[in-house]
Structure 1
Amino acid sequence: MEIDLTSSDLVQAHLSDWKTVADITGEAFAEDPVNQWVFGKPGAIRSMFRVMAREMYLPQGLSHLHPAGGATMWMPPGVDAAPSQVGLFKFALGQLRHGTLGAIKRGMALSDLMQAWHPKEPHMYLFTIGTTRDARGKGVGKGLLAPVLKACDAAGLPVYLENSNPANSGFYATHGFERMGVFEIGGDGSPIMEPMWREAKT
């Protein structure tokens, strides 16, 4: 699937950009209800995204950067979105350094839940989209989505994501995503995840 970035402000991130991608994402998710509940500290959230960017999404998936301060991490169809054993080990080390043992357990449990909800039908998976605080409200999110959604439409490929912040539901809905359901990440009034699906537009 070819993604045309020529009419956008985006650049494709390379493996050497893993820290930039992860740190933008970590800042974007620092106040996210799910990530706060699971990891607690901003440093622990950032550490998790550094592992995911370096070990999974940049070498195996697709990532774009926006010069105003935005980043995405995608996984195309046919690639296993589950963390590798090496990735899980580095995740645990990062949490022991920046977070807590409880964060490791909660993070692993959340990963299992996300895998259980993950559709089997071929699709493009949006793991994260985020902007820095200074870039919010400037159309960066829309700019990050547009080229990939256009390419998915041309290829007849649906898109899947898990929304971890109810405040973002409207943003995703305006781009054609529909709720598949909701699940609590830990019970007892814990935050919810909202799996969302977007059919290709013809």
Structure 2
Amino acid sequence: MQMLQVDLPANIRPATRRDWRQLGDITAEAFAEDPFNLWLFGRPRALRPLFRMMARDIYLKHGFCHIADDRGATMWATHESDLRLPPLMLLQLILAQQVHGSKGAMKRGMAAGKTMAEHHPREPHVYLFTVGTRKAARGKGLGKAMLSPVLASADKAGLPVYLENTNPVNDGFYRSLGFERRGEFRVDETAPLVTTMWREAQARP
């Protein structure tokens, strides 16, 4: 897997396998009001087990993650990363959603995963799965501070960056970092719109 050499500021560090719970908890808090994730799972409490498992079994193993104290977290991958759910994790997710999610949550989640995979670009790129901050850390520039070092590294490597924007209020934030709208999709007619965004590698002075 092609790994980026990322120069992080002092207040942000690479996450390790021991950080999977904290990564998941920060991300769950950040996405608690996200319309797409609320449609998927019905209840904010269902997000914590989901993002904990995604951190532990996918992005810490096959991608890379960053954490800023207990204030912010990101999960990344490259086009070469294996993002398929391991069978044991899938079973754990099913059990967790039966307890914490609403009726049909796992069925919607599986359909969403299939649709997202169908729209995922095939060309070389860096993939931003999640960026999020605790509520108390919002509006202080932490999200941009966490993304900027990876974007700079992607630029240096000549790699574009891809993400799925599941909340329209974040559109301006991503555009300010150089992302442009690539496309959109809905999992089904009841689902909120998801916008795919793409950022070409940019020349650095």
Name the TM-score class by shorter chain. Answer: over 0.9
Q: Which residue in the other structure is 1:4 paired with?
A: 7
- Alignment of 1:31 onto 2:30: no
Q: Distance in 1 between matches of 2:125 and 2:88?
A: 25
Deviation at 1:87, TM superposition (A): 2.4
Contact 1:82/1:115, CA 8 A, preserved across alignment = no
Q: Distance in 1 between matches of 2:5 and 2:153?
A: 7
Q: Distance in 2 between matches of 1:101 and 1:31?
A: 19
Q: Distance in 2 between matches of 1:43 and 1:68?
A: 19
Equivalent of 1:148 in 137, 150, 170: 150
The residue matched to 1:180 in structure 2 has which SS? strand
Structure 2: gaps spanning 5 or more residues: none
Q: Which residue in the other structure is 1:47 paired with?
A: 49
Q: Which residue in the other structure is 1:198 paired with?
A: 199
Structure 1: gaps spanning 5 or more residues: none
Q: Distance in 1 between matches of 2:65 and 2:162?
A: 16
Q: Distance in 1 between matches of 2:80 and 2:141?
A: 31
The residue matched to 1:129 in structure 2 has which SS? strand
Q: Distance in 2 between matches of 1:86 and 1:145?
A: 31
Q: Distance in 2 between matches of 1:82 and 1:122?
A: 18
TM superposition outliers: structure 1 runs of 4+ over 4 Å: none
2:95 partner letter = L
RMSD (CA atoms):
1.2
Deviation at 1:71, TM superposition (A): 0.3
2:72 partner letter = G
Q: Distance in 2 between matches of 1:9 and 1:73?
A: 17
Measured at CA, do residues 48 and 161 of structure 1 come closer, stay the same or move farther in structure 2, by a change above 3 Å?
same
Equivalent of 2:21 in 1, 12, 19: 19
**Superimposed CA distance per residue, residues 97-152 of structure 1 (whole angstroms, 9 cap, x where no aligned partner):** 21145000000000001000000001110000000100000000001101100000
Q: Give the TM-score normalised by the residue count of structure 1.
A: 0.95
Q: Distance in 2 between matches of 1:82 and 1:177?
A: 26
Q: Distance in 1 between matches of 2:11 and 2:159?
A: 23
Deviation at 1:86, TM superposition (A): 2.5
Contact 1:75/1:124, CA 8 A, preserved across alignment = yes
Contact 1:8/1:143, CA 8 A, preserved across alignment = no
2:198 partner letter = W
Deviation at 1:82, TM superposition (A): 2.7
Q: Distance in 1 between matches of 2:84 and 2:174?
A: 23
Q: Distance in 1 between matches of 2:84 and 2:188?
A: 20
Q: Which residue in the other structure is 2:164 paired with?
A: 162
Q: Which residue in the other structure is 1:172 paired with?
A: 174
Deviation at 1:68, TM superposition (A): 5.8
2:94 partner letter = A
Contact 1:68/1:135, CA 8 A, preserved across alignment = no
Q: Distance in 2 between matches of 1:9 and 1:61?
A: 21
2:101 partner letter = G
Deviation at 1:84, TM superposition (A): 2.5
